Structure 1
Amino acid sequence: MTRTDGTPEAPQQAPAGVADAVRGNWVDRLAPAPARPWLRLSRADRPIGTWLLYIPCLWAVALAANDGSGFSRLDLWLMVSSGLGAFLMRGAGCTWNDITDRHIDGQVARTRSRPIPSGQVTVRGALLWMALQALIAALILVTYNRLAIGLGVASLALVVVYPFAKRFTWWPQVFLGLAFNWGAILLWAAHSGHVAPGAVLLWLSGIAWTLYYDTIYAHQDKEDDALIGVKSTARLFGAQSGRWLAGFLALAVLLFAAAVIVTIPASRGIAPMLIALAGVWAFGLHMGWQMRGLNLDDPAACLRAFRANRDAGLIPVPFLAAAALV
């Protein structure tokens, strides 16, 4: 290409990585160069989102086993396959998100290095990549029972709508929570063949948890979002965000505890209940620890607290599993 004055234009260098990815992540270090833009498009260089999508699936399988049904060989497949499905559907969802947000992402410092706004991937290529990931995920879904398959198909509506939520509501984090925690209902159905009240309470707990961690995440972009007119709970709550976060924390813990209480039958005795509730309490304590000294005006601190929710979400899993085995 040439400039308007006739002199050659220097070729653009593709970004070495994405601004908010962990430095030295496996994609930047180990993936073949041609594959890196596609893996970055799927957020493979930022695995926290996959964990946050996967964890409610683990909650569901472990808590559903506490209704007296116990664990079976099927549950091992459910835990492994839902992890693969979370990776694939998170990748497909992020690809869709980047397609719809490509013009917005180009105006935000944290996101302008993403593959589409930076020119590494075309929109047509991204659509094909999204379809491929969704197809592979569908091959996993069809190994589940009919109810779970139907719930999986229904979740696509939430995935499609989410990227547009920040354009019409101050609560886009609710739409993210609806989608990201759908696995709690889907995997419960895959384990039990039905959706119990505990599954719905677990889903609602996950939504409150998402409101907690994604409000923290949104504080990274609140200045850019204000300039370009993007809505978020971070902007809505403003200086009152700390109080809202404490409320979401409490709601997540209370709903999780309610899910445990309605699921574990009294006939199993008090020990399973106490073990499971200890895991829920530890989950809440970890979130409380995250909030100690959290500076919502420091993007780096917000990102650290957001990422810490992988550990918070994993804490209840061994407690729930142990409760099912007692």
Structure 2
Amino acid sequence: MTIATRYAEFAAREARGVSPLYERLSSAVSGDDTLLALLGTLPPAKRQPNLLFGVVRLLGGPVDEPDAFHDFTIGNWPAIEAEIRDRATQTNEAGRCAVLLPVLAALPQPLALLEVGASAGLCLYPDRYAYRYGDHLVGSGEPVLECALTGVAPPSGPPEVVWRAGLDLNPLDVTDPADVGWLDALIWPEHTHRRARLRAAAAVAAAEPPLLVRGDLVDDLPALAARAPAGATLVVFHTSVLYQVPEPRRNAFVELVRDLPGHWIANEDPAVLRYDGLPEPPGSALYNVLALDGGPLAWTRGHGQAMAWFG
């Protein structure tokens, strides 16, 4: 896939109907030969729209008008390039807990949660948030995570979590304003509700910080998993992470995680983690597939805003 096609597809499949500003901006970049040439100097994993747009926002650049974005990016490319090479998209969207909850609540309790690609660990607190599935409210507290759920009944309550840990190449600290600032820059410009959600979820995590370990998803996962307490169901999970992992390493991770005790929950793009016999997705937007122990269960939207169960 060319860089131009990547940006055009982001506009059409991810941003359309979700962020008009990013739809327009990504479409403009797909036809901007100067910006495409600059992006072509980066490693393939560093060319993604979310990373470019997040870095420009972090540096105070405009994303609401393509011409102004073009001028800022060209004029500040050395600083932008340095940030892009140093950073990764670590979108820590607590809303994704809403699509994990039906599976987590159905597993043998209590749970020991281990998130791969944990960022700042905000998805390690599914028991501390509240959820609204249509008219059905689950749990209490803030933030309240809303999800359009079809095909399965909402869970009756949140799970019981007795241990939570995360593994990440560059874990972020919710008590560090600079790290929270990067998470904020990754939120799409119109999404004020997600900014409020980030602040509320960060407050939950900061009150009882999770165990976050800097490490590799293959080399360092077994040792961290071994630290889970006896008597709890180990659940290794990840969401929108494996697209950043080269395929051979991704395959090694899948082989490893299948053999760990407990359960494995994946929530990934079906082009990244493939399954046979999937039903058609609910629409033309980009959907992840939620799976338990390698068996696909549901289509989910990237920020946890919708879930269509088919398992």
The question of a shared fold, defined as TM-score above 0.5 by the shorter chain, is answered with no
Who wins on radius of gyration, i.e. which is larger? 1
Higher helix share: 1
Q: Which has the higher contact order (CA 8 A, sep 6+)?
A: 1
Calculate the TM-score normalised by the size of structure 2. Answer: 0.30
Calculate the TM-score normalised by the size of structure 1. Answer: 0.29
Higher strand share: 2
